[in-house]
């Protein structure tokens, strides 16, 4: 006949559970199976972190739409958390030694010209 169309009784979401793999730095580089498992785990961790960043971006968008004029004051905790998440992601990607926290950024004096 053909492919069965989804109905209300069929589950639309498939729950998947993956066992935690080893970390890349803890794996022997000559053990190919462990290296592949570590890479897959690293990719899953990055995907989860990227989704967290997307959710934070959506929350900032909702906050901005809600508070328009006062968004800088009302949404500041979201902005600082988002900034920390982005800097953490960049530090992981570029392997930086030091991360700058949002509290350090907001305490920097602005020069008067």
Render pLDDT for 77-99 as a digit per residue (tens, 0 to 9).
999 999 999 998 888 766 644 44
Assess if residue 1 is contained within a domain: no
Higher pLDDT pick, 37 / 100:
37
User: How many domains is the chain partitioned into structurally?
Assistant: 1
Give the lowest-confidence range in 4-8, 58-62, 74-78: 4-8
Assess if residue 107 is contained within a domain: no
Assess if residue 75 is contained within a domain: yes
In angstroms, the CA 71 to CA 63 distance is 7
Domain that holds residue 72: 24-96
What is the model's pTM? 0.62
pLDDT(50) > 60:
yes
Assess if residue 18 is contained within a domain: no
In angstroms, the CA 85 to CA 42 distance is 17
Assess if residue 70 is contained within a domain: yes
In angstroms, the CA 76 to CA 82 distance is 10
């Amino acid at each position: 006949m053909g492919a069965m169309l989804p109905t209300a009784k069929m589950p639309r979401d498939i729950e998947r559970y993956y066992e935690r793999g080893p970390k890349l730095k803890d794996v022997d580089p000559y053990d190919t199976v462990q290296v592949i498992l570590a890479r897959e785990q690293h990719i899953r961790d990055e995907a989860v972190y990227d989704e967290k960043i997307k959710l934070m971006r959506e929350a900032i968008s909702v906050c901005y739409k809600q508070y328009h004029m006062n968004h800088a004051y009302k949404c500041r905790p979201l902005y600082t958390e988002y900034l920390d998440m982005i800097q953490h992601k960049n530090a992981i990607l570029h392997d930086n030694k030091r991360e700058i926290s949002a509290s350090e950024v907001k305490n920097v004096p602005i020069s008067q010209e």
